[in-house]
Structure 1
Amino acid sequence: MIDIQKIRADFPILNQTVNGKPLVYFDNAATAQKPLVVIEAIEKYYKEINANIHRGVHTLSQLATDAYEVSRNTIQKHLNAKHSYEIIFTAGTTFGINLVANGFAALLKEGDEVMVSHLEHHSNIVPWQLLCERTGAKLVVITMNDEGELNLDEFEKQLSDNVKVVAVNHISNALGTVNPIKEIIEKAHKVGAAVLIDGAQATPHLKPDVQELDCDFYAFSGHKVCGPTGVGALYGKEEWLRKLPPYQGGGEMIAEVTFEKTTYADLPHKFEAGTPNIAGGIVLGTALDYLNTIGFENIASYEQELLEYATEKLLQIEGLKIYGTGKNKASVISFNIEGIHPYDIGTIVDKLGVAVRTGHHCAQPIMQYFNIPGTIRASFAFYNTKEEIDIFVEAVQKAQVMLS
């Protein structure tokens, strides 16, 4: 069970007013708010152990290194990766996807195919387009239907021995659709394709088991799971991480450098060039520990309640249409009101203290599919309440009256 008042007390930002109204924060799909334990852990690092890692013999460097590697182990256990060296610290999901796409440039040739879905964030489209331009490979799109779900029968027909990579998100940031990634992974593996999962939107809501899923890569961002911005993690199966060349050159990722030849460090350091976001890496582990104390089953159950409650309330508004009506959804609602631009709704509800996202949500192909400029997106987290949803719905109704 969720003790909502106890949880909300952990998030100081929720206790403020915006434009003279109590803040209702429904932009969690963009970034999650941070609990005190995370804020204090960042402060503690800079106050007590700030030093570079893996390089110093002095005490602070060893303390920082130990804390950083403990966090790597925390992420390994959270994802149920087989080895801690299969966890690469990154700057976020986008960085992780680019790392993998860049590595496949050495493995693909003209005539090979890379598959992405119609539901992807631009971060899981553009790196693969760049890869195809470099290698002569072809980008193939898994289609979607009017409910915002992927057409798996069509996907199966598209698969062939030419497909070398399949890259799909676990949950759509724009529509909230939970994709059947285990089935996608199984089908892709039958033709020998590697599978990358964009887990940016999934990791706040559920606990992925990368061994059970059998994915080859899984990327996520710290700031979506109540951690800091500018840090994330990429899981990669050992066999694939050994095949891929380094993404960047510099300190830490080398074994030996001469002007004639450089040899690379072993995993995971091969992919971790330069001084990392040390505080971010350490505190990402803190954030995951916090979420696990609440329990992902509790989070999922409570957020499903919020989703169902908000969906029922919003659909009572005349002229309102929800985009993304699949059977399996995370706590995201994208909608428009007939005859009103989403930006105008978002601007007015902000004046009433409600934070939502408007626009194409870095998922323009989805908007093109529905022939709309964008949507209003309300995304709920475990620290939100039904009372906040009531305030939000009332704000939308006021905006509708003002703009009609």
Structure 2
Amino acid sequence: MAVPEAFYREAIDLNRYSNKVQFQIASQFNEVILDVLRKIRDLEGNSPTTTARLRSILAQMVDSLKGWENESAAYMIDEIQNLAEFQVGFVQDQLQRVLPKGEFQVNTVSVSPDFAKSIVTKDPTAMTIRLRDKDGVFRSAQFALTAKRGSEISLPNGDTVKKAFRGISENSASKLSRAIRLGVLEGESLPKIARRLKGPNLRFNAKPQNSIALNSALKNSEGMLLSNKQIQTVVRTTVNQVQNAASQAVYSANKDITSRYQYVATLDARTSSICQRLDGQLFRYDQGPVPPQHFNCRSTTVPVIDDDDLARAFPNTRPSATGRVPQDTNYATWLKDNPDLQEKVLGKKKRYFNYLMSPKRGTKQLNPTNALKKIIREDGTELTLVELADKYKDAN
């Protein structure tokens, strides 16, 4: 059994891509709320004029959040469309790389231009892929896990991305309006209300540069923390859905090369009980569970190569960037044994990774797997899709 090593590395980088997307969407949301709180902070007294101005600000907030909702949905459509196309190409390339040169040709999958839109808005489309039968003859076929299938993809609670953003928008407006009115009734000044809802760590003119800084600034923010967590959840879950849907499409188009996939949850630092049970299990395509199993699921699937020729050529091994390694070598152990590649995979976290495994830490010393999990949990690094594509352009 062989599994292309790059699939494990990509799992880390897709988390970083999720960080980037959710940061962009959350930043726009926070700008709307901070603008409202700034205006409320500058109101003085409790005159009829102030009351009328407050009503106007709250009405404008509803309109601004509606605009954010629509812009965020459009942004997600663009991002996950490009993600689907990247992931299809990535999986095709990795399958081709693991096969003996000249003996097999991986079947390609084309992505409908409306695939992402069908996920976000439930607009069904169709997508054609090319399949190869055992005799090598190509034929056209409709594949359900593409644009048409996209209209059936929803968040674990059944909501679409657009509906989820609408819920965040409406709930935030309602919650903030209620909190402001309650504060006024209790005799709290408007500037004090604005500061309380903003939180102690975030400035009114703040523009955090990344998700790490943003999460730190939002601690104890009554008016923004929950909504930011909800945005993060929607984005992470959707990225996971699209990545796995695109991967499964390519796997299914190449069942003569890979007939099974492995469910992988080992790179998720907060692995749920259901993903713990599924981790490492093998399933035939269209017959097993596919992530996400829940909100914030970061599990993935990897193709298993069972070709007899490959098994004879590489007995009990799997491919890696440093050559064939024993099949039971997990990714964290492989990374520990290859310090030259730690920089490529972990970046600035390389030193921390080795520190966590140091015997000098005594009882706090972590094994490679737990050290990597800790880094993934704390990693707020961000990658754009362009950076992600460039990183795997020549992946081994």
TM-score, normalization: structure 2?
0.26
More strand as a share of residues: 1
Pick the structure with more helix per residue: 2
TM-score (ref. length: structure 1): 0.26
